[in-house]
Amino acid sequence: MKKKIAFVTGITGQDGSYLAELLLKKNYVVHGLLRRTSILNVDRIQDIINKYENKGRLILHYIDLTDTSSITNLIIKYKPNEFYNLAAMSHVGISFYTGETTLNINTLSSYRILESILKNHKKCKFYQASSSEMFGSTPPPQNENSQFNPQSPYGISKVSAFYITKYFRQAHGLFAANGILFNHESPRRGLNFVTRKITHSLSRILKGKEKKIYLGDVTTRRDWGHAKDYVYGIWLILQHKKPDDFVLSTGKNYSIQDFVKKVFKLLNLNWKKFVITNTKKYLRPSEVRNLKGDSTKARKILKWKPKYDLNYLCKDMLISDLKLYGMTLNDAKKIAKKYLK
Ligand code: NAP
Ligand code: F7E
């Protein structure tokens, strides 16, 4: 049987790397669309490059999301069955300082890709990486019927891309679907998102490379899941018989402070000795205070549900960061007991 072809933008990112692994396991030919960077940035996909590139199962292409023809040429040449649009300026805090780029990359690129699919290969299914940030100040629980009240250029860019996706579906009949994903983390999370910053900095503290962790507002609440569960949901969204929009979430939320406490507790450390909160440079001009998703629709229709809980996530992330600095959890516990109490 002919293998399915999937295009993935953002393949070098957290979700792109897990999704590519899943698609390769499912026997797809995966085309990863990446930007040129001055230092080659393929750490998260190095293992699958080693395993699949020379078999022709993983093919990487340089593209630029502001250069329509760089993507159109690939669509015409390879005629993908599925297009996962994961690339984005994904940092909410940074979007306050780079609003124009955030809109150009996160919003206009979705338009460019969808228009190209419409003109060149209408059969291709399209996934848009929408976000719980779109709900912004709308009180929880948030689901597919909740109002969007974005609080940042990032949130605004994702709301616009959400409607662009819906427009191509409703007006032009494309199979274009949105996954509205609540926060999901993993050992592959970028270092400047709060969860990874905590587990990574704690590992550095144990190695004597840092003394304190400087955070912003730790009273905000997030619904955190594991990225591995969420990329499976992303795939399911494109396998459904009709294009639709789905929330993926755990349905539980915790404050940033709760996350800090859970991670420090793994080493029996008192977090208050190491964490400075309300650091000015990490406070945002406007905040999304309380996100908790209601993913009943995905659970019923797609039969999706997360396998991993927050305790597993904290441990998975901490163990992986300790490993980067040559420690096991037991080593870290011993160091914590001896030097850091
Ligand atoms: P991530 O780790 O920050 O990855 C973002 C990806 O986009 C990277 O591959 C990055 O390339 C690429 N990218 C950024 N700007 C680009 C540009 N100008 N041209 C080409 N590629 C560009 O993000 P993630 O956590 O995997 O999230 C994946 C998608 O889901 C994003 O659209 C994000 O907004 C959305 N989302 C994420 C969450 C979450 O909690 N993780 C929740 C809801 C929605 P480089 O590696 O070169 O930087
Ligand atoms: O912040 C607070 C911060 O940057 C979480 C992206 O994947 O999820 C992510 O966006 C909360 C915020 O993620 C620090 O103010 C405190 O209230 O880890 P974050 P995010 O903004 O929720 C959504 C769903 C996406 O779509 C995005 O792409 O933590 N916070 N102190 C801090 N945040 C950071 N980054 N750094 C701090 O020092």
Render pLDDT for 149-174 as a digit per residue (tens, 0 to 9): 999 999 999 999 999 999 999 999 99
The model's pTM is: 0.98
Residue whose tokens read 């292409």 = 61
- 144 is known as an active-site residue: no
The answer to whether the beta carbons of residues 329 and 321 sit under 8 Å apart is: no
Orientation angle between helical segments 256-265 and 194-206, nearest 10 degrees = 30
Share of the chain above pLDDT 70, in %: 99
Structure tokens at 147: 């109002």
Sketch the domain layout of the chain as residue ranges.
5-185+224-248, 194-222+253-286+310-339
Amino acid, single-letter form, for residue 199: T
Q: Which residues contact 180 (CB under 8 A, 6 or more apart)?
A: 130, 131, 132, 134, 144, 162, 245, 246, 247, 248, 293
Over residues 249-267, mean pLDDT = 98
Architecture category of domain 194-222+253-286+310-339 in CATH: Alpha-Beta Complex (3.90)
Where is average pLDDT lowest: 95-109, 235-249, 325-339? 325-339
Most distant CA pair in the chain, distance? 65
From the candidates 131, 146, 152, 157, give the one annotated as an active-site residue.
Answer: 131
Q: How far is the CA of 215 from the centre of ligand 2 (A)?
A: 11
Q: Is the pLDDT of residue 339 over 90?
A: no
Q: pLDDT tens, 288-333? A: 999 999 999 999 999 999 999 999 999 999 999 999 999 999 999 9
Q: pLDDT tens, 201-237? A: 999 999 999 999 999 999 999 999 999 999 999 999 9
Instruction: Please count the other Cβ atoms lying within 10 Å of the Cβ belonging to residue 211.
Output: 9
Q: Is the pLDDT of residue 341 over 90?
A: no
Q: Is the pLDDT of residue 186 over 70?
A: yes
Q: Is the pLDDT of residue 196 over 80?
A: yes
Over residues 11-37, mean pLDDT = 98
Q: Which residues contact 143 (CB under 8 A, 6 or more apart)?
A: 247, 293, 294, 295, 296, 297
Tell me what pLDDT residue 1 has.
82
Over residues 63-89, mean pLDDT = 97
- 210 is known as an active-site residue: no
Tell me what pLDDT residue 338 has.
80
Secondary element (H or E) of residue 291: none
Please identify, by atom number, the ligand 1 atom nearest to the C-alpha of residue 154.
34
Ligand nearest, relative to CA of residue 89: 1
Instruction: Report the residue among 64, 85, 90 best suited for mutation to probe ligand 1: largest number of ligand atoms under 8 A from its CB.
Output: 90
Instruction: Please count the other Cβ atoms lying within 10 Å of the Cβ belonging to residue 141.
Output: 19
- 115 is known as an active-site residue: no
Tell me what pLDDT residue 315 has.
98
To the question of domain 5-185+224-248 being in CATH 3.40.50.720, the answer is yes
Cis peptide before 141 (omega within 30 of 0): yes
The answer to whether the beta carbons of residues 9 and 85 sit under 8 Å apart is: yes
From the candidates 52, 133, 157, 186, give the one annotated as an active-site residue.
Answer: 133
CB burial string 168-191: b at 16+ within 10 A, e below: bbeeeebbbbbbbbbbbbbbbbee
